[in-house]
Amino acid sequence: MSSVYVAGVGMTKFGKSAETLLDLFSEAATLALARSPVEEIDAIYIGAMNPEEFTGESNIAAQVAEALGVSGVPATRVETASSAGAAALHAACHAVASGYYRSVLVVGGEKMTHLSTSAATRILAEVIERQERLCGATMPALAAMITERYRKRYRLSLSQLERVLCLVAMKNHLNGARNPCAQFQKPITKEMYLSSKLVSTPLRLYDCSPMTDGAAAVILTAEKTDLIVSGIGQGTGPTGLRERKSFTSFDATRVAAERAYRMAGISPKDIDFAEVHDAFTPFEIISSEDLGFFPAGKGWQAVEEGKTSIDGELPINPSGGLKSRGHPVGGSGVAQVVEVAERLRGNVKTKSRREPRRALAQSTGGLGANNLVTIIERVDGARAQISWSQATGRSRPLRRRPPIAAAPSEEGRIETFTILYVTPDGFLPPLALALVRDRAGQLVMAQGEDIGHLKIGRDVYLRQLDGSYVFTVKSHLRKVKEAMRRLVSGLPSLPRDTKKTPASREERP
């Protein structure tokens, strides 16, 4: 088995580009190669999420080889939704580690900004589980529901949450302002954050990563360089929110991180800085817990204490992250490794207390459904050879998924919710969405009759409508009925209903 080293890296400017996807790939690859001791490559691995629908491009791997002038060279496209770049990098690592190829080019990217936001959102929303998508759920809506659950579980007030998310957004925009490749290069203020529009409560525009064109490239090689890939790990999780064991943590990240740490023979405290998939600001916090940097429920405090700032004890997203660098979906996983390599090499100055020797990149596919972790170290750390055979974790035997009961019972309780202000085509804003647990314990995504009276733990009526589900808050329905009765009978007003709703079932810790 060979060790896998990082040679040249390069990336395009992220943002809105007039170049084609193939041109973006070529530009990033050419930059990486120009800065590499390796001059010839044996194969190409391409990370792209959905060029078929974003740009009408199929057979992209052969096209990239052709555009790079090396038609003939093996080229393979790898896809795991928005973590496709990281998955391409891992496939390339296996190919080099096996000895089959000596040096390979990994290039990831996407072209998105030429489409309208609604068209691009529709394509991105295809990763969402079907029943949830049919209710009008978008990625920001699902992220928002996870955020609301996190807030409830760890007892943050709405204003505490708002402050913390604002801090993440400000930190990442400040970092991005120093990154010449970042899409957004201006710091944002608290006032800008607070006046930005609500996308899906409690998430604002500044909590969401943008649509981006861009590509990034990394050369991996068996020839010793200054940086080694010391740990990789991947994990999957359910695509639907309904199927999760926890709503405040991503199992896929935990599995991926555990494997990567085991392979590298290190623990989270050995990491000097990290690039984390902050497609939404709360996901940076949740991932910082899943990666073991902070205990569950303490990630938000770490942000408040400045621990994840560029001069903190564990800088997270010193590059600006997806939030400010931009998020060309299939490219982000490779871009993270480019940023990590540049900082470990000292090409980009960090303000951290210690000179960084070891960094981690974490990439998320879909709603935390296919996540990857990559650990890169400086070779002068004088570590023993990395063993590729220590990472295997055996899985359970396969068993086909049992069918889900056809229709839920007619009553249930809100597990989490959001009000969506930027809705997909065919849905009028504001749209209330809730994950409802019925009496049989089954979860369904449902649309709210109206946007008032939403709270985790509240009892609701549930009914089917056009293949989707609609919920009505019980206490609200009672009030409506009472108001109607009053209208009809002309009786004086009754005192306000103050009966408390029972607390919702919390996740296992």
Which residues ranging from 352 to 371 are in contact with a copy of itself (CB under 8 A)? Answer: 365-366, 369-370
Question: Binding segment for a copy of itself among 195-203, 304-312, 389-397, 496-504 (CB under 8 A)?
Answer: 389-397
Is residue 395 close enough to count as binding a copy of itself by CB under 8 A?
A: yes
**Quick one: DSSP state of residue 158?**
H
Please, which of residues 460-499 interact with a copy of itself by CB under 8 A? none
Among residues 39, 355, 410, 450, which is the contact residue for a copy of itself, using CB under 8 A? 39
For residue 321, count other CB atoms closer than 10 A to its CB.
32
Give the alpha-carbon dihedral of 132, 282, 175, 14, to 10 degrees: 0
Cα angle, residue 495 at apex, residues 490 and 501 outer, rounded to 5°: 125
Using CB under 8 A as the binding rule, whether residue 11 contacts a copy of itself is answered as no
Residue 274 corresponds to which tokens in the numbers above?
């990290």
Residue 105: which of 53, 156, 145, 70 has the closest Cα? 70
* Least distance (Å) between residue 98 CB and a copy of itself: 4
Does 98 help bind a copy of itself (rule: CB under 8 A)? yes
- For a copy of itself, the binding residues in 156-175 under the rule CB under 8 A are none
Which range touches a copy of itself (CB under 8 A), out of 145-153, 180-188, 317-325, 395-403? 395-403
Q: How many residues does the chain have?
A: 509
Among 193, 388, 421, 469, binds a copy of itself (CB under 8 A): 388
Tell me which residue of 204, 182, 193 sits closest to 328, measured CA to CA: 182
Closer residue to a copy of itself (CB): 56 or 492: 56
Rounded Cα gap, residues 227 and 39, in angstroms: 17
**What are the residues whose beta carbons fall under 8 Å from the beta carbon of 61, sequence distance 6 or more?**
44, 46, 75, 76, 77
List the one residue from 158, 186, 243, 346 that touches a copy of itself (CB under 8 A): 243
What are the tokens at 502? 């029972």
Residue span binding a copy of itself (CB under 8 A) among the ranges 33-41, 111-119, 154-162, 417-425: 33-41
**For residues 72 and 509, which CB has a smaller minimum distance to a copy of itself in the complex?**
72
Produce one character per residue of 245-284: b if its CB has 16 or more CB atoms within 10 Å, e if not: ebbbbbbbbbbbbbbbbbbbebeeeebbbbbbbbbbbbbb
Sign of CA dihedral 321, 326, 332, 338: negative
508 binds a copy of itself (CB under 8 A): no
Q: How many CA atoms lie within 13 A of 213 on its CB side?
A: 19
Check residue 239 for interaction with a copy of itself (CB under 8 A): yes
- Nearest distance in Å: CB 502, a copy of itself: 30
Work out how close the CB of 485 gets to a copy of itself at its nearest, in angstroms, rounded to a whole number. 47
For position 70 contacting a copy of itself by CB under 8 A, the verdict is: yes
Least separation, in Å, of the C-beta of 101 and a copy of itself?
Answer: 6
DSSP, residue by residue, 246-294: -SSS-HHHHHHHHHHHHHHT--GGG--EEEE--SBHHHHHHHHHHTTSS
CB of 220 to a copy of itself, least distance (A): 12
- Tell me: does residue 19 bind a copy of itself (CB under 8 A): no
**Of residues 35 and 479, the one with the C-beta less far from a copy of itself:** 35
Q: Are strands 468-473 and 443-448 parallel, antiparallel or unpaired?
A: parallel
400 contacts a copy of itself (rule: CB under 8 A)? yes
Residue 214 structure tokens: 């861009």
Q: Which of 13, 16, 35, 102 binds a copy of itself (CB under 8 A)?
A: 102
Pairwise CA distance, residues 168 & 143, whole Å: 15
Binding to a copy of itself (CB under 8 A) within 120-149 occurs at: 123, 126-127
289-317 burial, b for 16+ CB within 10 Å, e for fewer?
bbbbbbebbbbbebbeeebbbbebbbbbb
Out of 6, 31, 77, 284, the only residue in the binding site for a copy of itself (CB under 8 A) is 77
Determine, following the binding rule CB under 8 A, whether residue 74 of this chain makes contact with a copy of itself: yes
Distance CA 113, CA 17 (A): 8
Q: Using the rule CB under 8 A, is 65 a contact of a copy of itself?
A: yes
| The two structure tokens encoding residue 372 | 């990857």
Nearest approach, Cβ of 247 to a copy of itself (angstroms)?
A: 15
By the rule CB under 8 A, 334 interacts with a copy of itself: no
Contact of 278 with 238, CB cutoff 8 Å: no
Task: For residue 76, state whether it binds a copy of itself (rule: CB under 8 A).
Answer: yes
* Member of 389, 489, 493, 498 binding a copy of itself (CB under 8 A): 389
Which amino acid, 419? Answer: I
Smallest gap from Cβ 462 to a copy of itself, in A, equals 24
Q: Is 402 exposed, middle or buried (0-12, 13-18, 19+ CB in 10 A)?
A: exposed
Cα-trace Rg, the chain: 24
Which segment (229-237, 302-310, 439-447, 474-482) binds a copy of itself by CB under 8 A? Answer: 229-237
Shortest gap between Cβ of 218 and a copy of itself (angstroms)? 14
Closest to a copy of itself by CB, 54 or 193: 54
Q: Which of 67, 115, 379, 404 binds a copy of itself (CB under 8 A)?
A: 67
Contact 279, 207 (CB under 8 A): no
40-59 residues near a copy of itself, rule: CB under 8 A: 40-43, 49-50, 52-53, 56-59
Shortest CB 100 distance to a copy of itself, Å: 5
* 308 forms part of the interface with a copy of itself (CB under 8 A): no
What kind and span of H or E run contains 371?
strand 370-378
Instruction: Closer to a copy of itself by CB, 335 or 369: give it.
Output: 369
